[in-house]
Amino acid sequence: MTTYITTPIYYVNAQPHLGHAYTTIVADTYARFCRLCGEDTRFQTGTDEHGDKIAEAAARENIEPKEYVDKISGMFRDSWPVLNIAYDNFIRTTDVEHIKVVQSILQKVYDKGDIYFDAYSGLYCKGCERFLTEKELVDGKCPDHQVEPQAITEKNYFFRMSKYQQQLIDHINANPEFITPERYRNEVLSFLSEPLEDLCISRPKSRLTWGIEMPFDKDFVTYVWFDALINYLTGLGYPDDEKFAKYWPVAEHVIAKDILKPHAIYWPTMLMGMEVPLYKKLHVHGYWNINDAKMSKSVGNVVRPAELVEEYGVDGFRYFALREMSFGLDASFSHDSIIDRKNSDLANDLGNLYSRSAAMLVKYCDGVVPEPVDQQPSDKELTDLAAKVVSDYKQTMGAFEFHKGLQAVWELIRFANKYIVTNEPWALAKDEAQAGRLNTVMFNLAECLRLIAMTIRPVMPETSAKMAAGLGLGENDPIVSSLSESAGWGMIPVGTKMQEIDVLFPRMDKKKEQAPAEKPKNQKKSAKKEQVAEQDDLISFEMFQKIDLRVAEIIAAEKIAKSDKLLKLTVKIPEERTIVAGIAEHYAPEDLIGRQVIVVANLKPAKLMGVPSQGMVLAAKTGEKGAQTLVLSAVSETVNPGDKVA
């Protein structure tokens, strides 16, 4: 299998922001996922460097356009390693090879009769670099730039886009996966239900010199799209290089929805005019809103990727971006939401699983993966889930549903954490007779870590490498780097020796991380606040978050011999566990069956009257001192046992 994945080439009139970073992380993750699946993969990104906006920006800085684009293109190129983006080719539209290919294509389409010269009058917006239709204006102004467009009449070259309208409609109808998600396919089809106009593809040199000269008319340069979109071909050495023959038939483009029309309509019709087969797929994503407002320079809420990496780490940011946004829909960015994801999913779920399992492997097995000998039904539940997770993961990641792919992996992580609680390795370790069982549990945990390290590899390459190294596996060992060879259960070799274990994700404090600049100014005040907090026995939100409150369903209850107060309860949360509760004087055991109560699920296990208790049932104390009654906590509607209370 072969894959060719591209980002748009970014226009170099601004530095990279969150939107650019997201598109590029998506393409990088997909490329890494394809490589994990054993596919021959090529990933291309780059910069778009012609047009009036560039010429104007260079003039403002009093430098030549070439010097200006070298500078900004360099900023893009330099920002990608910071995000761990591993592209195979970085293309620039000022590359000599690109210019040659654009000119040869223009000549070919011109000779064929698909390009003609005609007068055009229209309303031109400089910001958009195009003519706007009356329909697009809001109160007579360009809605994106809030300026009245200029009325211009000039002669220009046009591409006969209308000629290919029906052919494009037929192609989209015959290939449901050509444009995804479906909402964008529908949007394009709806646009194509109206007659398509021909595409203006030139600018007179009197108005713009910073562009690629028309090969058949020295007084004109080509307009930005006919230059920019062709990068997807020139990056493969079109037309003669073997890379073109190999990768073009499997080309997949990733874009944000603002450039849907050029990619879904201009580009395929251009390819038809050029007699080049169409790309295979177009993947379209939504926008990031910043604290629920649209990101814009004028609002001053532009988020810089490098700053996010500095604050949250490269993997923290990559994970957040892919987990938070459902590909295709808009998503919301805030520092709080990234910290929440980092603390709950990364530090709590993944980080804890890794450090607990690794520490126990060291403590109980001398850091060597032991041989599993004593498989039990609960193990089958784990191995069945692992198989389901890997299959869901493959299917969703391949379909650009990255948030679902990660959800699947987290299902395994959360189950593995529960598996530790249910199997109590620390108890097994105390009993010689249980040595075989302990080895099995520890082997299974090591194997979970291996599968997790492999599946998070496309999204969090650094963390995956750390986990693999901790397990004593090489970063490129096929059992952590090849989904095609190593997706099955039980592949971690017995005898593998663990190496040093790092903390994967330290927890983050919201207030501290969010406003470091405010700290010195308000030091006195916050010191005072802390005092007040101490006096009032207030706890921080973080501390509260550590308490795992859940809805538990009581499935069995019995009195404990020699105790008037204690009942032994068996509850489902959703796995079964025993909790001893001091409610015998207030409830009869038979009245409790089927009740849902709220429990603290992560209380340290204790023994009460010789009965082990794993958790605490919450109840209200009511009535006069000395004559108090206990009333059990409850939820107002029946929910699933194990649901979190927060």
- The site for Zn ion (CB under 5 A) is made up of 125, 127-128, 142, 144-145
DSSP 117: E
Cis, peptide link before residue 16, omega less than 30° from 0: no
Phi then psi for 82, rounded to 5 degrees?
-60, -35
| SS3 assignment for 172-187 | HHHCCCCEECHHHHHH
Tell which residue, 223, 201, 219, has the closest CA to residue 211.
223
Tell me whether residue 125 or residue 459 sits nearer to Zn ion (CB atom).
125
Tell me whether residue 100 or residue 145 sits nearer to Zn ion (CB atom).
145
CA 434 – CA 426 distance, rounded (Å): 11
CB of 142 to Zn ion, least distance (A): 3
Tokens of residue 306, six digits: 């490098």
Annotated catalytic residue, options 17, 50, 253, 263 = 17
User: Would residue 403 show up in a list of annotated catalytic residues for this protein?
Assistant: no
Residue type, 546: K
CB of 638 to Zn ion, least distance (A): 55
User: Would residue 586 show up in a list of annotated catalytic residues for this protein?
Assistant: no
CA 87 – CA 175 distance, rounded (Å): 28
CA 600 – CA 633 distance, rounded (Å): 12
Cβ atoms of residues 330 and 294 within 8 Å: no
CA 92 – CA 90 distance, rounded (Å): 7
Tell me whether residue 14 or residue 634 sits nearer to Zn ion (CB atom).
14
Annotated catalytic residue, options 66, 71, 155, 294 = 294
Tell me whether residue 26 or residue 142 sits nearer to Zn ion (CB atom).
142
User: Would residue 565 show up in a list of annotated catalytic residues for this protein?
Assistant: no
User: Would residue 37 show up in a list of annotated catalytic residues for this protein?
Assistant: no
CB of 224 to Zn ion, least distance (A): 14
The residues near 200 (Cβ < 8 Å, ≥ 6 apart) are 120, 130, 131, 156, 157, 158, 223
Tell me whether residue 127 or residue 474 sits nearer to Zn ion (CB atom).
127
Annotated catalytic residue, options 135, 218, 297, 625 = 297
Cβ atoms of residues 346 and 512 within 8 Å: no
CB of 129 to Zn ion, least distance (A): 8
Tell me whether residue 146 or residue 531 sits nearer to Zn ion (CB atom).
146
Q: E-assigned strands of 269-422?
A: 281-285, 288-290, 293-294, 331-333
CB of 60 to Zn ion, least distance (A): 19
Q: Are strands 619-622 and 629-632 parallel, antiparallel or unpaired?
A: antiparallel
| Sheet (strand 115-125) strand order | 130-132, 115-125, 150-159, 199-200
CA 503 – CA 403 distance, rounded (Å): 24
Tell me how many helices (H) and strands (E) the chain has.
27, 25
CB of 106 to Zn ion, least distance (A): 26
Tell me whether residue 96 or residue 138 sits nearer to Zn ion (CB atom).
138
Q: Are strands 251-256 and 2-11 parallel, antiparallel or unpaired?
A: parallel
CB of 132 to Zn ion, least distance (A): 7
Annotated catalytic residue, options 108, 128, 141, 246 = 128
User: Would residue 34 show up in a list of annotated catalytic residues for this protein?
Assistant: no
CA 314 – CA 336 distance, rounded (Å): 17
Tell me whether residue 127 or residue 398 sits nearer to Zn ion (CB atom).
127
Cβ atoms of residues 69 and 54 within 8 Å: yes
| Sheet (strand 40-48) strand order | 89-92, 40-48, 2-11, 251-256, 281-285, 179-180
Chain center to CA of 253: 17
Tell me whether residue 8 or residue 149 sits nearer to Zn ion (CB atom).
149
Of the chain, the end-to-end C-alpha distance in Å amounts to: 46
Tell which residue, 176, 578, 123, 503, has the closest CA to residue 351.
503
Annotated catalytic residue, options 34, 37, 142, 200 = 142
User: Would residue 283 show up in a list of annotated catalytic residues for this protein?
Assistant: no
CB of 257 to Zn ion, least distance (A): 17
Tokens of residue 311, six digits: 């604050």
User: Would residue 297 show up in a list of annotated catalytic residues for this protein?
Assistant: yes
User: Would residue 142 show up in a list of annotated catalytic residues for this protein?
Assistant: yes
CB of 135 to Zn ion, least distance (A): 14
The residues annotated as belonging to the active site are 17, 20, 125, 128, 142, 145, 294, 297
